Copies of this chain bind each other. A is one copy, B any other.
Amino acid sequence: MTDSKTSGIVAKSYAVHSVGDKFELFDVQRRVPRDDDIVIKILFCGICHSDIHQAKNEWHNSTYPMVPGHEITGVVEQIGSKVQKVQIGDHVGVGCLVDSCLDCRACKRDLEQHCPDSCITYNSTELDKKTPTYGGYSTYVIVRDHFVCKIPKNLPLDGAAPLLCAGITTYSPMRQHNVGQNTRMAVVGLGGLGHMAVKFGIALGAHVTVISTSESKRNDAMKLGAHAFVISKDPEQLKDLARSFQFILDTVSAKHDVQALVQLLDFEGTFCMVGAPSEPIDFSATTIIFNRPRITGSIIGGMKETQEMLDFCGKHNITSDIELIRATPETLKTAYDRTMKADVKYRFVVDIQNSFA
């Protein structure tokens, strides 16, 4: 770290420089901290499936060099003169957002993720629409205080990292749709998102059923505390569950039969998608006319709700189940390959401090 007061910080990072490139060491020149900035020494960063989509330009919007990573935890190393929410040494986290206008209708409703000018943590730009943002596979990040969350001291910072994306992505819709005591809910897919949804559901007092394509997930689901487990490919098992659930959270990003799942909703139940299959979703009109389901979706959460989620996790001792890795070009490639095969329980997290030694 150089003298940040005058020249900003050079953060050692891992970047890809083009589609199909492997990760290489890359120096990110972080900005000179502003009055409302928090300088964070990054300790851990989760690997989200969307990192892979963007590193490989699968969403056709990638700019390079790219330093992925939006599940960031670390320690406050320096604060701007106007920062009041944290002190040096505090445990903090940064998720998918690093700035927004804070003035639009969405921002005023604490829904910064829906601000038309929101700045994404990487593969995006700052509010000036020019300066590129670089993510958390990096030793330092400097973020406007509003977009930094406090992490309860009792939570380990490695398992807490995925809360900043996988956590809030599942927590927010559960709160939007009033999941609580005895809510009959189902979680579709038991991966990084799904396993967080199970933990939240249990903590909220819901009756949680996991719906998966794979019998091999049964034990895992039960270990996480799920009350029931169903194979989605067995029509008989699904038939028994017709009109069972008040809330279904669908975390699956692969193509799958949404209609069969919507039919498991009780009258006026809610089906919420947080995965994003690339193929169109389809179902018959009668499916939605006869049972008044609400089919909806959700994406991450606002800053206020993200802090609420972290405080909830602190209270209930909830973190992500992770596999910790030291980043090298090879370990990152392996982690990406295994994540694509859903061969991880349930998130890879990069041990940043031990990756750039």
A interface list, Cβ under 8 A from B: 106, 111, 114, 176, 259, 267, 273-278, 280-286, 288-299
Contacts and interface: CB of A to CB of B under 8 A. Distances in A.
Contact of A267 (B114, B273, B290): B114
Contacts of A106: 267
B296 A292 contact: yes
B294 A298 contact: no
A290 B299 contact: yes
Contact of A294 (B114, B275, B291, B295): B295
Contacts of A295: 288, 294-296
A292 B297 contact: yes
Contacts of A294: 294-296
Given A294-B294, A294-B295, A288 B267 contact: no
A201 to B, nearest CB: 20
Contact of A289 (B111, B286, B292, B298): B298
Contacts of A289: 273-274, 276, 297-299
Given A176-B292, A273-B285, A292-B296, 7 more contacts: A114-B290, A259-B280, A280-B282, A281-B285, A288-B295, A288-B297, A290-B297
Contact of A285 (B259, B291, B297): B297
22 contacts: A114-B267, A114-B290, A176-B292, A273-B285, A273-B289, A274-B289, A275-B285, A278-B285, A280-B284, A281-B283, A281-B285, A282-B282, A285-B297, A288-B295, A289-B297, A292-B296, A292-B297, A292-B298, A293-B296, A294-B295, A294-B296, A295-B295
Contact of A284 (B259, B281, B292, B293): B281
Contacts of A275: 285
A277 B282 CA distance: 13
Contacts of A274: 289
B283 A280 contact: yes
Contacts of A281: 282-285, 288
Contacts of A291: 114
A249 B61 CA distance: 34
A290 B273 CA distance: 11
A18 to B, nearest CB: 25
A111 B288 CA distance: 16
Contacts of A293: 296-297
A221 to B, nearest CB: 24
A281 to B, nearest CB: 6
A104 to B, nearest CB: 11
B273 A277 contact: no
A246 to B, nearest CB: 13
A276 B282 contact: no
A58 to B, nearest CB: 13
A243 to B, nearest CB: 10
A267 B289 CA distance: 22
Contact of A277 (B267, B285, B290, B298): B285
Nearest to A298: B292
